[in-house]
Structure 1
C-alpha cells in the first residue's frame, strides 16, 4: 500500500513551475551565446569608427574647404581624412627615400637635437617606432614566464632587447640579462619593465598577440582555442540545458513535505 501511495506525493502543480525555470535557463544561455557572437563584432566596429572619426578630426582642419567631400555632398564622408592621412604619409615616405628627403630629415633631426627636452623625447619615440614598424627589430616577438610577484607565482612577460653595454656592466652577477615587459590585466598597454637573468626566464611557444589576448581576458581565452569551437560549445551547452530542463520535471525538494 505504501508503494502505491508514492506517486500522489508529487504535487500536480510542480511541472508547470519547472517550465518557466527551463525557459529562463534557455533564454539566459541563448542570450550569452548571442552576446559572445555580437559583442566582439560590435566593439570592433565601435573602435574602428572611433579611430576613423578621430583621424578625420585631426586631418580635416588641414584640408581646404574646396577639397572636402561635405562641400559637394549633403552629408559628411567618414574616412576621407583617413584616406588623406594615408596618402600624405605615403608621399612623405617616398620623399624621404630620395636624397633631398634624407637631407631635409637630417636637417630636422639636427635641429631637434639642439633642443634639450625635445631631443630626448624625439630620440626615444623614434627608436620605439623604428623597432615596432620597421620589421627589423626583435622586440616583443617572444613570450616567457618569470616568477613574479613572489616565488611560485608565474607571470607572462614579453621579451625585448638585451640591455645596453652600460647597463649590463652595472647589473649584478655574471648571468646574461634580458629586457622584459610585464603587461597588466586587463589593459596590456600598462605594466612593468625590468631586467631579468636569462636563466630565470622560461620561454613559451606563444605569439605576442595570443599573450595579449590571454592577459586582456584574464585567462578566460586560452591560446590555441578556436572562437568558433567556443561558440559551438556554448550552443551545445544551451541545448543540453534545454533538454535537461524539459526531460527532468522533478519537484523542488523544499516543496515536498
Structure 2
C-alpha cells in the first residue's frame, strides 16, 4: 500500500508540474497583454470619461490609431522636418538629450527600416576568459591606427540587462564570430535569457557553404 501510495503521489505531482508548465506561459501572456491593454487604454480613457463615454477598450483603440497616424505622419517629409526640429530642441537639454539618444538607438535596433538599424549584426566574442563566450551585437566598426599597422575593430555591445544596459567592447574583426542569425533573432535570444537560442549555431560563412551544398540553415538536409 505504501508503494502504491508513493506511486500515485509521484504520478499526481508529475501531472501537476506538467499542467503548471503548460499554463504558466499562457497565464503570463494573458497578464502581460491585459496590463498592456489597460496601460495603453489609460491614455485616452480619462478624456472619454469626461465626455460621459464609458466603453472599455475605446481608449486602447484610440491609442493604437494615434500611434499609427504618428507613424504615417513621421514617414512623410513634413513629419521628418517636425521630428528634426523637435530633436534639435531636445539635444539642447543637457540631461534629457542623453536619455533620448539612448532610447532612440534602442528603438532603432528593432525598427523595420533596415537602414536605421543600430545593431548591424549578431556577434559572439570570447569573454570574459578563454573558453567562455558572450552574445552581443555589432554596432559599428572603427580603425585603430598604430605606428606599425592599422587594425579594424568591431564595436560589440554585450547586453547585461536585457537590451537597455550593457558593456561595449572593441574587438578585432578577425576575432568576432558572426552566427547565422538575424538581429531580430538575436534580440529574441537576449530577451528570453537564451531560452530561444538554436541548439546548433553556425557561422555565416559555414551557412553559406551549406546552402551551396543543398543543406539547411543549421546544416541539416531539407526534408
Q: Choose the corresponding residue for 2:11, options 22, 26, 33.
A: 26
2:126 corresponds to which of 141, 147, 150: 147
Q: Distance in 1 between matches of 2:47 and 2:195?
A: 44
Q: 1:197 offset after TM fit, Å?
A: 1.7
- Change beyond 3 A, Cα 1:58–1:203: same
Q: 1:86 aligns with which of 64, 68, 79?
A: 64
User: Is residue 139–residue 159 contact of structure 1 (8 Å, CA) maintained in 2?
Assistant: no
Unmatched tracts of structure 1, length 5 or more: 1-15, 71-76, 226-257
Tell me the TM-score normalized by structure 2: 0.68
Cα drift, residue 224 of structure 1: 5.4
The answer on 1:183 being equivalent to 2:166 is: no
Q: Say whether the 8 Å CA contact 2:156–2:168 is kept in structure 1.
A: yes
Alignment RMSD: 3.5
Q: Which residue of 1 aligns with 2:21?
A: 36
Offset, 1:68:
3.6
**C-alpha spacing 1:39/1:218, structure 2 compared with 1 (3 Å):** same
Cα offset for 1:69?
2.7
1:207-240 deviations in Å (ceiling 9; x for gaps): 5565566566666665259xxxxxxxxxxxxxxx
Question: Is contact 1:181-1:194 (8 Å) kept?
Answer: yes
In terms of fraction of residues, the more strand-rich structure is: 2
DSSP-derived class of the 2:178 partner: strand
C-alpha distance in 2, partners of 1:126/1:215?
Answer: 19
The CA distance in 1 between the partners of 2:189 and 2:70, in whole Å, is: 37
Any conservation in 2 of the 1:182–1:191 contact (CA below 8 Å)? yes
Aligned length: 197
Gaps of 5+ in 2: 201-223
Q: Displacement, 1:90?
A: 2.1
Please state whether the residue corresponding to 2:125 is helix, strand or coil: strand
Contact 2:144/2:151 (<8 A) preserved? no
Q: Larger relative CO (CA 8 A, sep 6+): 1 or 2?
A: 1
Residue 195 of structure 1 pairs with residue 195 of structure 2: no
Matches within 5 A, 1:28-177: 28-63=13-48, 65-66=50-51, 68-70=53-55, 77=56, 79-98=57-76, 100-136=78-114, 137-140=116-119, 142-155=121-134, 157-163=135-141, 168-169=143-144, 174-177=150-153
Q: For the structure 1 residues 35 and 210, does the alpha-carbon distance in structure 2 shift closer, same or farther, using more than 3 Å as the test?
A: farther
Distance 2:52 2:37 in 1: 18
